[in-house]
């Protein structure tokens, strides 16, 4: 297959670049700023990260100064800092999205109220409502339309860069602050070829006089003024109106700047830009990338003889009615306004309301020139990055042909409750024949996305063609699938939606064809490339029937390569990305083969050059040998002999899992209608057990003969995928073949088994690492060793028997020790956390100890993602149907949210106690007395209280009256509920610290668990106040210059807070003890839990060793501060770790994050050592009661 991509002459003459919009926008914002206040939030973080890196490298702005950045504790903090910077006359910017933007709103009013010239950039993203979504829509920006900020939108990578400049220029000229926004992910993360802006264009656009005027208004004691006064009823109102002329002037000034920009670059924009038939009868009005799709569709419809158009709204605030109506052809008879947000209960969404108002106002002002007054309908599309493609756009245009088109419609979903949705033709597609489309399926870790980004850069940079890439990731942090959508063509690519029909489909992981319908993306007569260990001769017989059928029906050319074998032969290790990339170029013919290989090698040298010539050469060999391993399969058209793809979930799964969850797992969640979901965001728990991911190559194998039954393996497992049980030996009679057991130590007649969950294990090796039992004859052999398992089916049967036939112990047997805690059922299992995650073992332990009475408030972050990201969630229930009740409110409010839980739970218990006291004569005094006294926290008391509550419920069922009915509602609260507040250090130390501090100070009986990875892990490793001195993180590229905040000591200073510092890999018994003591303490508790993380830069299989080193060097002292001890005359603090045995350097040198260039952090090791010693000395004194 070969594609002929005609060069476009206009591209050749201008400089080009191939980047995503985040980087393109950041480049403009950075060059036009002096101070930048930042805080990470997806999908805007890369802009701040780029600026931070440029600043660290002393890259100057347009005026030769290096912008300085400050990371704040929250977006609210960033907005406050920005406000201060502006009042001091500094050219300032920031970047944010979603909840972060909401936190900036109060300051946005202030900044606009003070007419401070300022432009910041928003990757528009959904807001957390019934659920969190990191993906794109306009809910966030539309929540700011009342702040007084000018709002300007861009629709593509090129536009985002260009309009960023215009927005910066406009704010200086108008004094009105600007919010520039573009679609999160769809635009922010789309990699595309565009024309970058040179400094001279920036210089020509910026009015130096306006900057001078801005500076002259700054707050300075040299010519003092006062701002931020408090005003009374006499003047506030009219003073508020004094800004009107500035707003009135904005639209014309922005248009003038657009015109000036066009003169400089040849790219003309309009504040309201009409595109379509000059005599259109139908019009779509939209903002953002969706407008481009509507425009592309309109052009096609016009080619078919229709008369339609699109009005792209770029300047949304201030809204210029005259300019708006002027941009619309007078012939328009019906208008559909598309909003990418939802305002439940409103008359319509914001743009719709504005358009309706604008038309009415235009009419009343006599500036409306429509031949007939158009009908206006509004509709919602694209929420949370829902696809909006030409088929959907066409459905909207089609709707406008109706006499009574549906108003307040939705498009792109099946809304079957109020039937708002429009139907669309799924087969409709607008891909141009000369645009080459390729879809790649990869595994997160295999480098597919990186190689594809590189291919786009090669094609974009080295050929006259335009290129575009968009990347879709799944919701798991381990074993995740990536889908890359690449387009190449001779004209700028306006298709901002996923590829439905690709001429080239590559599947870089053989197992995916067993799980996903990868060939659904293949166009007829396209090409399919599969990376598989099978040869061209044998592969056919190994394919599922569904795949075979599609290959035949679509007449696909089919190629195979064993890329892993090629990589092994070349010595490049496990990564196959450059090999697959070479095959793509060779098969697609986008570039002449030799040229493609040369370009790939050039990029290999760029990527690996620093790692040494031999690494480069090995990769060159891999590239050279790739084509030798590439074979075309002769497709046996009449031989449809494949096996059926296995069902997504087993038949035993609950109906909801089979109908809803499995559909999402299949990648077909788009097809689910609104009625499939509970309307309030509630989901059933315990669904990860139905998602068998089978991502481990090797599994732990148990040698029962040397096992010492310590249960440490189960303790450290991040995925609850290795478990232990002891049980009556007679049960072994029904055990499946190969089931292993050994005599249970200490109990006659009992057996013991360690069992791996073969389909859920991620192969992290932590269980094998921690295993202390070595063979005496061969100490290299442990009781757990990682091995390749050829017969998984047997292991599956054994796990099923272990789980479902062998009994669990009575909860009263569970004690606060490592061994018995691991006999308790984990009610947090098989999460999508990273392989070898250092956080999840703590959560698993929490559910084992208190899971049946646990209420969890979880701050946004890694733990809320692996805890609550669809399709499946890991919190589950025990045999009685009890288990953790889990919820995530926000990032910043989690401590308060959890305190709310506690307060309400306690109140409900109070009410229950009042009611049983009141109803005692009917219930019986003994039961009531026992219930009132039965609030102890140990397992036996809880079990006894549960029995009493059951008896109570039986009693009150027979009692008449409202009190008895009210008591039924709250009776279960007579059994103690355990309230835990979980989150990472970004929450606990930074954005949520105010709440954490307040909740600790409240004296409430809550437990706060900070899973401390010392960075914002979920958003990609940005520094928090927990980041240690000297560590490199994003936003601390040069190494953090301040010490880690000692949050434990801060809490200790209150005196009445239980504080525990733990590291499960260093001292597991202490970890369990701390959890138990925190829970038993009838006041606030804080646990700071060392959590190794991929953002530390070493193999997580060594995570437990690093935890030990952290403790042995004194970097992470283990302690318990228990205020109860003071009553006994003892010091509250007990240090549980021994005096340091090693220097901190031994710990630091193992992690990439501490290997910053020494010139960045002079004397860093010595300083870190000194810091550790000083902090230990303080702890020592406290422990001695001094």
Partner 1 sequence: MNLETDYLGLKLKNPLMPGASPLADDLATIRRLEDAGAGAIVMHSLFEEQINLERLAVERDVESHTESFAEATTFFPNEEDFEETCEEYLSLVGKIKETVSVPVIASLNGITPGGWTSYAKLIQEAGADALELNYYDLPSDPTKTGADVEARALDLVKAIRKEVTLPIAVKLSPFFSSLPNFVSELKNAGANGVIVFNRFYQPNINIEDLDTDSVLELSTSAELRLRLRWLAVLSAQIEGISYGVTGGVHTAADAIRAIMAGANGVQLVSALLQNGADYLGTVLTDLTKWLEEHEYDSLAQMTGTMNLKHCPDATAFERGNYLRILKSWQP
1040-1099: contacts with partner 1 (CB under 8 A): 1094-1095, 1097-1099
**Polymer length of the chain:** 1186
Whether 764 contacts 445, CB under 8 Å = no
Tokens standing for 366? 């006599």
Contact flag: residue 615 with partner 1 (CB under 8 A)? yes
Distances (CA, A) of 686 to 230, 822, 872, 876, 988: 54, 19, 8, 4, 27
Contact flag: residue 1138 with partner 1 (CB under 8 A)? no
Closest alpha carbon to 1010 in 1052, 1079, 1062? 1062
What is the per-residue burial (b if ≥16 Cβ within 10 Å, else e) of 1138-1177?
eebeebbeebbebbebbebeeeebeebbeebbebbeebbe
Whether 1065 contacts 716, CB under 8 Å = yes
Stretch that binds partner 1, among 157-165, 455-463, 496-504, 1149-1157 (CB under 8 A): 1149-1157
Q: Which is nearer to partner 1, 185 or 828 (CB)?
A: 185
Contact flag: residue 80 with partner 1 (CB under 8 A)? no
Task: Say whether 145 is catalytic.
Answer: no
Tell me the site size for partner 1, rule CB under 8 A. Answer: 62
Virtual torsion, Cα 241, 242, 248, 252, nearest 10 deg: -160
Distances (CA, A) of 885 to 686, 827, 1128: 11, 11, 36
> Binding string to partner 1 for residues 1094 to 1123, with x set by CB under 8 A, is what?
xx-xxx------------------------
How far is it, in rounded angstroms, from Cα 474 to Cα 870?
A: 10
Contact flag: residue 38 with partner 1 (CB under 8 A)? no
How far is it, in rounded angstroms, from Cα 980 to Cα 962?
A: 33
Task: Say whether 129 is catalytic.
Answer: no
Q: How far is the CB of 626 from partner 1 (least distance, A)?
A: 19
Q: Which is nearer to partner 1, 282 or 476 (CB)?
A: 476
Q: Which is nearer to partner 1, 45 or 588 (CB)?
A: 45
Strand ranges across the sheet with 481-489: 17-20, 191-194, 466-473, 481-489, 436-443, 502-507, 522-531, 557-561, 630-633
Whether 38 contacts 71, CB under 8 Å = yes
Residue 817 per-residue DSSP state: S
Q: How far is the CB of 53 from partner 1 (least distance, A)?
A: 6
Residues sharing a CB contact under 8 Å with residue 515, sequence separation 6 or more, in sequence order: 645, 648
Q: Which of 16, 213, 262, 480 binds partner 1 (CB under 8 A)?
A: 480
Stretch that binds partner 1, among 159-167, 347-355, 456-464, 1028-1036 (CB under 8 A): 1028-1036
Q: How far is the CB of 54 from partner 1 (least distance, A)?
A: 11
Task: Say whether 125 is catalytic.
Answer: yes
168-187: contacts with partner 1 (CB under 8 A): 185
Q: Which of 131, 219, 262, 443 binds partner 1 (CB under 8 A)?
A: 443
189-228: contacts with partner 1 (CB under 8 A): 189
Q: Which is nearer to partner 1, 323 or 472 (CB)?
A: 472
Stretch that binds partner 1, among 327-335, 397-405, 614-622, 763-771 (CB under 8 A): 614-622
Contact flag: residue 610 with partner 1 (CB under 8 A)? yes
285-344: contacts with partner 1 (CB under 8 A): none
Q: Which is nearer to partner 1, 66 or 943 (CB)?
A: 66
Q: How far is the CB of 681 from partner 1 (least distance, A)?
A: 20
Task: Say whether 42 is catalytic.
Answer: yes
Q: Which of 61, 93, 125, 293 is catalytic?
A: 125
What is the per-residue burial (b if ≥16 Cβ within 10 Å, else e) of 732-764?
eeebeeebbbbebeeeeebbbbbbbbbbbbbbb
Closest alpha carbon to 874 in 822, 918, 841, 827? 827
Q: Which is nearer to partner 1, 161 or 452 (CB)?
A: 452
Tokens standing for 241? 């109106």
Contact flag: residue 612 with partner 1 (CB under 8 A)? yes
CB atoms within 10 A of CB 461: 14
How far is it, in rounded angstroms, from Cα 45 to Cα 1022?
A: 9
Residue with token string 């039986």: 954
Q: Which of 75, 691, 829, 1076 is catalytic?
A: 75
Q: Which of 6, 200, 614, 969 binds partner 1 (CB under 8 A)?
A: 614
Contact flag: residue 1038 with partner 1 (CB under 8 A)? yes
Contact flag: residue 473 with partner 1 (CB under 8 A)? yes
Stretch that binds partner 1, among 42-50, 273-281, 516-524, 969-977 (CB under 8 A): 42-50
Q: Which is nearer to partner 1, 365 or 611 (CB)?
A: 611
Contact flag: residue 1167 with partner 1 (CB under 8 A)? no
* E strands present in 562-683: 630-633
> Binding string to partner 1 for residues 847 to 886, with x set by CB under 8 A, is what?
------------------x---------------------
Contact flag: residue 840 with partner 1 (CB under 8 A)? no
Phi, psi of 1131 (to 5 degrees): -60, 140
Q: Which of 83, 515, 976, 1034 binds partner 1 (CB under 8 A)?
A: 1034
Q: Which of 1018, 1019, 1027, 1071 is catalytic?
A: 1018
Contact flag: residue 58 with partner 1 (CB under 8 A)? no
Contact flag: residue 512 with partner 1 (CB under 8 A)? no
Sign for the pseudo-dihedral over CA of 519, 521, 522, 527: negative
Q: Which of 22, 42, 872, 1007 is catalytic?
A: 42
Distances (CA, A) of 211 to 115, 175, 218: 13, 10, 11
Q: How far is the CB of 924 from partner 1 (least distance, A)?
A: 55
Residue with token string 């006599």: 366
How far is it, in rounded angstroms, from Cα 761 to Cα 721?
A: 5
Q: Which is nearer to partner 1, 5 or 124 (CB)?
A: 124
How far is it, in rounded angstroms, from Cα 626 to Cα 586?
A: 10
Q: Which is nearer to partner 1, 277 or 508 (CB)?
A: 508
How far is it, in rounded angstroms, from Cα 1000 to Cα 1011?
A: 17
Q: How far is the CB of 1155 from partner 1 (least distance, A)?
A: 5
Contact flag: residue 1020 with partner 1 (CB under 8 A)? yes
Contact flag: residue 428 with partner 1 (CB under 8 A)? no
Q: Which is nearer to partner 1, 98 or 147 (CB)?
A: 98
Distances (CA, A) of 767 to 771, 815, 836, 870: 6, 22, 10, 27
Whether 606 contacts 461, CB under 8 Å = no
Sign for the pseudo-dihedral over CA of 1102, 1105, 1107, 1112: negative
Rounded to the nearest 5 degrees, what angle is found at the Cα of 818, between the Cα atoms of 817 and 823? 100
Contact flag: residue 53 with partner 1 (CB under 8 A)? yes
Q: Which of 83, 125, 477, 853 binds partner 1 (CB under 8 A)?
A: 477
Strand 178-183 with 119-124, pairing: parallel
Q: Which is nearer to partner 1, 134 or 1078 (CB)?
A: 134
Q: Which is nearer to partner 1, 865 or 971 (CB)?
A: 865
Contact flag: residue 1142 with partner 1 (CB under 8 A)? no
- What is the separation, in whole angstroms, between the first and last Cα of the chain? 80
Q: Which is nearer to partner 1, 363 or 1155 (CB)?
A: 1155
Contact flag: residue 471 with partner 1 (CB under 8 A)? yes
Residues lying near partner 1 in the complex (CB under 8 A) are found at: 42-43, 45-46, 49, 52-53, 56, 134-135, 185, 189, 443-445, 447-450, 453, 471-473, 476-477, 480, 482, 573, 575, 610-615, 617, 774, 776, 779, 834, 865, 1017-1021, 1032-1034, 1037-1038, 1094-1095, 1097-1099, 1152-1153, 1155-1158
User: What positions carry a catalytic annotation?
Assistant: 42, 75, 125, 1018
């Amino acid at each position: 297959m070969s594609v002929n991509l005609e060069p476009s002459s206009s591209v050749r003459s201008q400089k080009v670049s191939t980047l995503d919009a985040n980087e393109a926008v950041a480049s403009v914002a950075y060059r036009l700023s002096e101070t930048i206040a930042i805080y990470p939030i997806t999908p805007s973080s890369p802009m701040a990260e780029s600026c931070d890196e440029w600043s660290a490298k002393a890259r100057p702005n347009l005026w030769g100064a290096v912008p300085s950045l400050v990371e704040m504790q929250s977006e609210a903090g960033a907005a406050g800092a920005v406000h201060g910077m502006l009042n001091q006359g500094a050219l300032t910017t920031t970047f944010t999205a979603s909840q972060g933007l909401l936190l900036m709103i109060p300051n946005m009013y202030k900044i606009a109220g003070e007419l401070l010239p300022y432009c910041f950039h928003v990757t528009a993203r959904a807001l957390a409502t019934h659920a969190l979504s990191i993906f794109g829509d306009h809910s966030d920006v539309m929540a700011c339309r009342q702040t007084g900020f000018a709002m300007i939108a861009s629709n593509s990578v090129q536009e985002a860069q260009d309009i960023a400049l215009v927005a910066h220029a406009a704010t200086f000229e108008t004094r009105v602050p600007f919010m520039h926004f573009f679609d999160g992910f769809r635009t922010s993360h789309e990699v595309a070829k565009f024309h970058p802006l040179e400094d001279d264009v920036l210089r020509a656009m910026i009015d130096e006089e306006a900057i001078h005027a801005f500076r002259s208004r700054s707050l300075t004691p040299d010519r003092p003024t006062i701002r931020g006064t408090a005003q009374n009823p006499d003047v506030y109102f009219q003073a508020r109106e004094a800004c009107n002329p500035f707003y009135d002037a904005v639209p014309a000034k922005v248009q003038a700047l657009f015109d000036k920009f066009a003169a400089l670059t040849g790219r003309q924009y309009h504040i309201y830009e009409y595109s379509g038939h000059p005599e259109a009868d139908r019009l779509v009005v939209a903002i953002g990338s969706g407008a481009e799709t509507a425009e592309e569709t309109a052009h096609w419809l016009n080619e078919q003889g229709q008369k339609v158009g699109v009005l792209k709204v770029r300047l949304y605030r201030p809204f210029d009615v005259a300019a708006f109506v002027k941009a619309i052809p007078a012939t328009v008879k019906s208008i559909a306004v598309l909003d990418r947000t939802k305002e439940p209960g409103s008359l319509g969404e914001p743009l719709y309301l504005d358009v309706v108002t604008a038309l009415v106002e235009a009419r009343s002002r006599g500036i409306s020139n429509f031949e007939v007054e158009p009908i206006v309908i509004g509709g919602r599309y694209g929420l949370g990055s829902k696809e909006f493609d030409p088929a959907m756009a066409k459905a909207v245009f089609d709707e406008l042909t109706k006499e009574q088109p549906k108003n307040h419609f939705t498009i792109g979903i099946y809304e079957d409750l109020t039937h708002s949705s429009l139907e669309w033709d799924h087969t409709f597609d607008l891909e141009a024949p000369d645009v080459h489309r390729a879809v790649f399926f990869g595994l997160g870790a295999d480098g597919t996305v990186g190689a594809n980004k590189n291919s786009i850069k090669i094609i974009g940079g080295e050929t006259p063609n335009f290129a575009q890439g968009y990347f879709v990731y799944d919701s798991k942090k381990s074993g995740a699938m990536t889908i890359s959508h690449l387009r190449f063509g001779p004209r700028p690519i306006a298709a901002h939606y996923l590829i439905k029909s690709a001429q080239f489909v590559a599947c870089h992981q053989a197992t995916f064809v067993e799980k996903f319908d990868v060939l659904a993306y293949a166009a007829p007569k396209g090409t399919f490339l599969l990376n598989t260990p099978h040869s061209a001769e044998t592969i056919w017989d190994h394919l599922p029937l569904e795949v075979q059928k599609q290959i035949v029906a679509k007449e696909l050319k089919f190629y195979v390569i064993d890329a892993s074998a090629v990589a092994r032969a070349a010595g490049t290790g496990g990564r196959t990305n450059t090999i697959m990339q070479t095959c793509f170029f060779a098969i697609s013919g986008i570039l002449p083969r030799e040229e493609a290989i040369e370009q790939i090698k050039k990029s290999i040298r760029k990527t690996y050059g620093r790692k040494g010539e031999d690494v480069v050469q090995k990769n060159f060999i891999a590239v050279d040998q790739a084509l030798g391993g590439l074979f075309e399969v002769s497709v046996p058209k009449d031989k449809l002999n494949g096996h059926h793809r296995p069902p997504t979930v087993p038949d035993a799964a609950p109906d909801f899992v089979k109908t809803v969850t499995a559909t999402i797992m299949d990648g077909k969640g788009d097809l689910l209608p609104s009625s499939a979901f509970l309307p309030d965001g509630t989901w059933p728990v315990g669904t990860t057990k139905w998602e068998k991911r089978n991502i481990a190559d090797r599994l732990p194998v148990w040698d029962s003969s040397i096992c010492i039954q310590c249960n440490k393996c189960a303790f450290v497992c991040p995925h609850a995928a290795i478990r232990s049980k002891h049980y009556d030996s007679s049960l072994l009679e029904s055990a499946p073949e190969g089931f292993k057991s050994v005599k249970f130590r200490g109990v006659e007649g009992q057996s013991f088994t360690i069992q791996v969950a073969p389909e859920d294990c991620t192969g992290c090796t932590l269980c094998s690492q921690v295993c202390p039992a070595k063979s005496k004859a061969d100490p290299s052999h442990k009781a757990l060793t990682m091995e390749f398992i050829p017969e998984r089916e047997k292991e599956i049967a054994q796990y099923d028997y272990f789980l479902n036939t062998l009994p669990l112990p009575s909860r009263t047997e569970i004690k606060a020790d490592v061994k018995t805690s691991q006999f308790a059922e984990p009610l947090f299992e098989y999460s999508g956390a990273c392989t070898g995650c250092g956080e999840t073992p703590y959560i698993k332990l929490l559910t084992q100890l208190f899971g049946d009475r646990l209420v969890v408030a979880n701050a946004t972050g890694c733990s809320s993602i692996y805890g609550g990201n669809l399709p499946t969630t890991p919190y589950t229930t025990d045999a009685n149907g009890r288990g953790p009740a889990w919820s995530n409110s926000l990032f910043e409010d989690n401590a308060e949210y959890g305190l709310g839980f506690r307060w309400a739970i306690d109140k409900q218990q109070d009410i229950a106690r009042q009611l049983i006291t009141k109803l005692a004569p009917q219930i019986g005094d003994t039961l009531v007395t026992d219930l009132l006294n039965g609030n102890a926290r140990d397992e036996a008391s809880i079990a006894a209280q549960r029995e009493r509550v059951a008896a109570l419920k039986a009693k009150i069922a027979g009692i008449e009256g409202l009190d008895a009915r009210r008591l039924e509602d709250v009776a279960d609260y007579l059994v103690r509920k355990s309230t835990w507040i979980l989150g990472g250090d970004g929450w606990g130390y930074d954005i949520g610290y105010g709440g954490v501090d307040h909740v600790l100070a409240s004296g409430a009986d809550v437990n706060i668990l900070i899973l401390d990875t010392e960075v914002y892990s979920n958003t990609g490793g940005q520094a928090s106040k927990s980041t240690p001195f000297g560590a490199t993180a994003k936003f601390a590229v040069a190494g953090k210059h301040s010490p880690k905040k000692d949050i434990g000591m801060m809490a200790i200073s209150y005196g009445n807070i239980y504080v525990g510092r733990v590291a499960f890999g260093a001292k597991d018994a202490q970890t369990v003890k701390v959890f138990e003591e925190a829970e038993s303490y009838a006041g606030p508790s804080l646990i700071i839990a060392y959590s190794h993380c991929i953002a530390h830069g070493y193999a997580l299989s060594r995570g437990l060793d690093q935890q030990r080193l952290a403790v042995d060097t004194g970097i992470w002292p283990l302690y318990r501060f228990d205020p109860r001890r003071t009553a006994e005359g003892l010091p509250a603090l007990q240090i549980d770790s021994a005096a340091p045995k090693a220097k901190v350097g031994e710990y630091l040198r193992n992690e990439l994050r501490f290997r910053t260039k020494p010139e960045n952090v002079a004397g860093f090791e010595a300083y870190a050592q000194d810091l550790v010693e000083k902090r230990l000395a303080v702890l020592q004194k406290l422990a001695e009661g001094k």
